[in-house]
């Protein structure tokens, strides 16, 4: 129940939540609740998208999707922390991680809320590339809203003057781009999450190509230009 209370506070009264992070109130408890909630929500969504292929793919995606976001967090959190230090922030590493976890938690909640839509298209269409692009779009929407929460949190938690705050806003924008590139490459490395029809279950697929080329190829197949394997 505490996990759900934390989520409700983030969504309904984010300013109070960010002020509590700024003051260091219950940071460990908040981080633990957000971590557990996001793992559960990502696992549920991963099971949904993996069910397009097989039971094993559903179980695999339920494990890999939370790992994807947590691994990206571990890789990118130190960069945000040290960039903030350079530009005069007195935020602790725990505060930075709590803010990033807020963005991840919001992303996971939104993805879970999209699950009925995903299930609807799962039951009503058999076009693999369309289903993949639909989910990429849902990830993009959820992730964008998540980083908006992060940006708002960074502004509220920051103690520095206007000059430092302006510099850190640019740093946050740069960090978001880095986070997106790291996350997309991590997703490509840990694929498959959906499981291509006609191919056997694979825990991990052989490295090759890149995420963005595959997305453009999927769009090309939907438009009838060529076929993606």
Phi-psi region of 226 (alpha: psi -120 to 50; beta: other; left: phi over 0): beta
Task: Give the CA angle between residues 55, 59, 61 to the nearest 5°.
Answer: 115
Residues 157-167: what's their mean pLDDT?
61
Percentage of the chain beyond pLDDT 90 is 42
DSSP code per residue over 26-92: THHHHHHHHHHHHHHHHHHHHHHHHTTT-HHHHHHHHHHHHHHHHHHHHHHHHHHHHHHHHTT----
Residues 194-221: what's their mean pLDDT?
76
Q: Where are the domains of the chain?
A: 2-222
The pLDDT of residue 39 is above 90: yes
Positive or negative, the CA dihedral 11, 111, 44, 99 is: negative
> Residue 121 has which token pair?
């298209």
Grade residue 163 by pLDDT with cuts at 50, 70 and 90. low
pTM for this model (two decimals): 0.87
The pLDDT of residue 208 is above 70: no
Tens-digit pLDDT profile for residues 77-116:
998 888 878 777 778 889 999 999 999 999 999 999 999 9
Q: What rounded mean pLDDT belongs to the chain?
A: 85
């Amino acid at each position: 129940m505490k996990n759900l209370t934390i989520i409700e506070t983030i969504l309904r009264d984010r300013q109070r939540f960010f002020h509590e992070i700024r003051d260091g109130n219950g940071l460990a408890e908040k981080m633990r609740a957000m971590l557990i909630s996001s793992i559960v929500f990502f696992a549920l969504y991963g099971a949904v998208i993996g069910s397009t292929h097989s039971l094993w793919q559903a179980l695999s995606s339920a494990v890999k999707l939370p790992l994807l976001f947590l691994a990206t967090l571990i890789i990118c959190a130190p960069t945000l922390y040290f960039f903030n230090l350079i530009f005069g922030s007195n935020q602790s590493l725990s505060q930075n991680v709590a803010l990033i976890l807020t963005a991840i938690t919001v992303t996971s909640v939104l993805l879970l809320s999209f699950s009925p839509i995903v299930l609807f298209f799962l039951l009503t269409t058999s076009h693999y590339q369309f289903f993949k692009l639909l989910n990429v779009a849902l990830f993009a929407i959820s992730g964008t809203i998540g980083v908006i929460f992060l940006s708002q949190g960074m502004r509220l938690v920051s103690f520095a003057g206007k000059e430092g705050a302006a510099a850190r806003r640019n740093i946050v924008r740069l960090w978001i781009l880095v986070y997106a590139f790291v996350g997309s490459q991590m997703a490509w490395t840990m694929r498959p999450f959906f499981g291509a029809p006609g191919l056997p279950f694979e825990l991990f697929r052989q490295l090759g190509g890149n995420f963005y080329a595959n997305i453009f190829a999927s769009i090309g197949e939907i438009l009838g230009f060529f076929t993606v394997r």
